[in-house]
Structure 1
Amino acid sequence: MTPAAADASLWALLAGPFLEFGFMRRALAGCVALSLGCAPVGVFLLLRRMSLTGDAMAHAILPGAAVGYLLAGLSLPAMTAGGALAGLLVAVASGVVARSTVLREDASMAAFYLLSLALGVLIVSTRGSHVDLLHVLFGTVLALDDAALWLIGGITGFTLAALALLLRPLAAECMDPGFLRSVSPRWSAAAHYGFLALLVLNLVAGFHALGTLMAVGIMVLPAASARLWARSLGGLLALAAGMALAASVAGLLLSYHLDWPASPVIVLCLGALYAASLALGRHGLWRGRGERF
Structure 2
Amino acid sequence: MTVNFLLAPLQDDSVRHSFAAVLALALAAGPVGVFLMLRRMSLVGDAMAHAILPGVAIGFLAAGLSVFAMTVGGVVAGIVIALLSGAVSRATQLQEDASLAVFLLVSLAFGVVIVTANGMDIEKLMEFLFGETAAAMNAEKLLVIAVNSTVSILVLALIFRPLVIDCVDPTFLRTVSRGGGIAHLAFLIVLVLNLVSGFHAFGTLLGVSIIIVPAAAARFWTRDVTRLVALSSVTALLTGWAGLLVSFYADVPSGPAVTLAAGAVYLVSLLFGPVGGLLPRAWPRRHLEA
Which TM bucket (shorter chain)? Answer: over 0.9
Instruction: Please give the per-residue CA displacement for 1:218-245, whole angstroms capped at 9, x wherever unaligned.
Output: 0110000001101311100000000011
1:165 aligns with 2:158: yes
Segments of structure 2 that go 5 or more residues without pairing to the other structure are 285-290
Distance 1:281 1:211 in 2: 30
Counterpart of 2:280 in 1: which secondary structure?
coil
TM-score by length of 1: 0.92
Aligned 1:118-129 pairs, distance under 5 A: 118-127=109-118, 128-129=120-121
1:51/1:35 CA distance change after superposition, 3 Å: same
Q: 1:215 aligns with which of 189, 207, 211?
A: 207
Percent identity of paired positions between Structure 1 and Structure 2: 48
Shift of 1:32: 0.7
- Does 2:250 align with 1:252? no
In structure 2, distance between residues paired with 1:90 and 1:56: 10
Residues in 1 aligned to 2:102 and 2:55: alpha-carbon distance in whole angstroms: 17
Q: Does 2:262 correspond to 1:270?
A: yes
For residues 259 and 77 of structure 1, what CA distance do their matches in structure 2 show? 27
Among 89, 96, 107, which residue is 2:98 paired with?
107
1:25-83 deviations in whole A, cap 9, x for unaligned? 11111111111111210110000000000010000000010011011100111111111
How far did residue 93 of structure 1 move? 0.4
Q: Equivalent residue for 1:152?
A: 145
Partner of residue 16 from structure 1, selected from 8, 19, 22: 8
Q: Give the Cα separation in 2 of the matches to 1:260 and 1:155.
A: 26
Query: Structure 1: 5+ residue runs without aligned partners?
Result: 1-8
* Counterpart residue identity of residue 4, structure 2: A
Query: CA shift at 1:143, angstroms?
Result: 2.8
**C-alpha distance in 1, partners of 2:127/2:5?**
27
Q: Are residues 133 and 259 of structure 1, via their aligned partners in 2, closer, same or farther at CA, if it must alter by over 3 Å?
A: closer
CA distance in 1, matches of 2:246, 2:197: 23
1:286 Cα shift?
A: 1.0
Q: Where in structure 2 are the equivalents of 1:170-249 lying within 5 Å?
A: 170-185=163-178, 187-249=179-241
1:5 aligned residue: none
| Root mean square deviation, CA, Å | 1.4
What TM-score comes out, normalization by structure 2 length?
A: 0.93
